[in-house]
Amino acid sequence: MSREEDMMLKKVLISAQRMAPEDRQLATALIDVYLAERNYQQAINVGEDYMRIVTTDRDIIQQLAPAFEATQQHQCYRQWLIDATEIEGFQATVVAEEATGEQVVRLTPGFKKHQHALAQWPLHDQLGLLQTGNEVQIQFYQPEIQALLQHKALTVTQRVFALEALHRIGDEQQYRLTIRGQTLDCVPAHTPLRSENLFYHALIEAVVKRLADNTPDLANEAVVVIRRHQTALYPQVPSQQQLNEWVEAYVSWLERIYHGVNHSDKQMQKALILDEIDRYALENIGF
């Protein structure tokens, strides 16, 4: 295999995996690809995306050294090295304190908050932190998550993930949210998770029932789609009218996609993935 073919194969594999920032192996592979192509800024972007969410990683910083040098970003390179040194010192402190038998860990070893405001992070990075961040990480970012929750342009998905993140740390603060034009006072610690929310399950059941007779293959896909969208800050005591409105919105959207493509599973999945722009429009306009 030629070097060019090897690079192309790496790109294909990484693309197929839809690289998440928490995946170190794919992050380093993609950095290698961009460095080989002399696409230095893209290499830096991948490395920084990884380190913002997961950990300041000295190996990745050194891997990016040629890119920082080529783009004259010397100060940025030095700052990452300083961050790494601080974290390594913190890890040594934790080990020493843990040896005494005391539970005194204040931060997850290898995790450091950087200067990036959470609201300015790419959406995928935001959702990655909100969905998979541990208790220490969420507490560390709590003020920024609280500010994000009050943002007027917040999508349903962001709001759900933010509330569930604050729920996990038992946030008792009351937030005033505007949902579907209505004002709602919400306390994250008392707001059920999706898995506990009856409206979430009722919505899936109702959508499947509507689609099952005429388009059974679409009914099966609807379950996957609704769960993936995770648009689930549903009313805790919903009316039948509210349920019907959500069902109509999802059924109309799914049927529009269904009638616009061939009905094979592969074509359907491709269409649903490509329709994510409409998905965000649906969240912002409808709900």
In order, the DSSP letters of 150-166 are T-TT--HHHHHHHHHHH
Q: Are residues 21 and 74 in the same domain?
A: yes
Q: Are residues 12 and 84 in the same domain?
A: yes
**Where in the sequence is the domain holding 86, given as residue range(s)?**
3-98
3-state secondary structure of 203: helix
Does residue 105 form part of some domain?
no
Query: Which comes out higher in pLDDT, residue 185 or 19?
Result: 185
Q: Are residues 183 and 215 in the same domain?
A: no
Position 269 scores a pLDDT of: 56
Q: Are residues 206 and 276 in the same domain?
A: yes
Q: Which of 63-77, 99-113, 195-209 has the lowest mean pLDDT?
A: 99-113
The string of pLDDT tens digits covering residues 118-165 is 766 666 667 777 877 778 778 888 888 888 887 766 666 677 788 889
Distances (CA, A) of 105 to 60, 92, 99, 168, 271: 25, 11, 12, 18, 46
Q: Are residues 126 and 62 in the same domain?
A: no
Does residue 29 form part of some domain?
yes
Q: Are residues 186 and 135 in the same domain?
A: yes
Q: Are residues 223 and 239 in the same domain?
A: yes
Does residue 44 form part of some domain?
yes
Instruction: Give the tokens for residue 244.
Output: 């019907």
Is residue 119 within 8 A of residue 155, CB to CB? The reply is: no
The string of pLDDT tens digits covering residues 91-114 is 444 444 445 554 433 333 344 455
Position 110 scores a pLDDT of: 42
Does residue 267 form part of some domain?
yes
Does residue 111 form part of some domain?
no
Does residue 112 form part of some domain?
no
Does residue 104 form part of some domain?
no
d(C-alpha 280, C-alpha 230), whole Å: 12
Instruction: Give the tokens for residue 269.
Output: 């999945």
Q: Are residues 201 and 172 in the same domain?
A: no
| 181: CATH | 3.30.1790
Cβ density class 151-173: b for 16+ within 10 Å, e for less: eeebbbbbbbbbbbbbbbbebee
**Mean pLDDT highest for which of 33-42, 155-164, 224-233?**
33-42
Q: Are residues 142 and 186 in the same domain?
A: yes
Q: Which residue has the tokens 């005194």?
A: 104
Backbone angles phi, psi at 234, to 5 degrees: -85, 155
d(C-alpha 102, C-alpha 195), whole Å: 35
State which H helix or E strand residue 175 sits in.
strand 175-179
Does residue 279 form part of some domain?
yes
Domain stops at, among 160, 191, 222: 191
Domain stops at, among 51, 68, 98: 98
- Per the structure, the count of domains in the chain is 3
Q: Are residues 229 and 266 in the same domain?
A: yes
